[in-house]
Amino acid sequence: MHQWDDAMDMLLAAQASGASGKVAFNLSHALIFYTAGEAVRRVAPAGYVPYAEAAGVWQRGLQALRSAIEEIWLPYLNGRGTRDEALSVLVRRTLVVAKP
């Protein structure tokens, strides 16, 4: 899924810029882990555990992103809303705002 890095990074940055902030560190990477895991989970045998869960990826500083992704991105993956709507809400939820 790293094929989407450049395009996704530009989409995320545009959303963050419009909200006067920066994209959360590793948001794009967290989206890759989650999306790939979810895609495989849908076709894998019962009991499948996505790599990010099995390897403890979420516990290495990405748990807050996972929660936001589950709440915002998963409905998009399930056919609700548009990609841009989901990314807009996700970026705003996880936005890093510079301190004055």
pLDDT at 98 over 80: no
Instruction: Give percent of the chain with pLDDT exceeding 70.
Output: 98
Considering the domain boundaries, does residue 9 fall inside one?
Answer: yes
Considering the domain boundaries, does residue 35 fall inside one?
Answer: yes
Considering the domain boundaries, does residue 99 fall inside one?
Answer: no
pLDDT at 20: 85
18 DSSP assignment: H
Write down the mean pLDDT value for the chain: 93
pLDDT at 100 over 70: no
For 8-28, write each residue's pLDDT tens digit.
999 999 999 888 889 999 999
pLDDT at 3: 85
For 32-60, write each residue's pLDDT tens digit.
999 999 999 999 999 999 999 999 999 99
Residue 75 has which token pair? 């409905």
Q: Give the three-state DSSP class for 61.
A: coil
Query: C-alpha distances in angstroms, 22 versus 37, 43, 93, 98?
Result: 26, 35, 11, 8
For residue 96, the cross-strand partners are 22
Residue 59 has which token pair? 């516990």
Could you list the residue range(s) of the whole structural domain that residue 61 is in?
Answer: 2-94
Residue 76 has which token pair? 């998009």
Q: Which long-range contacts (CB under 8 A, 24 or more apart) does 82-88 make?
A: 84/11, 87/11, 87/12, 87/15, 88/15
What total number of domains does the chain contain? 1
Alpha helices in 1-100 (DSSP H): 5-18, 27-41, 51-54, 63-77, 83-94
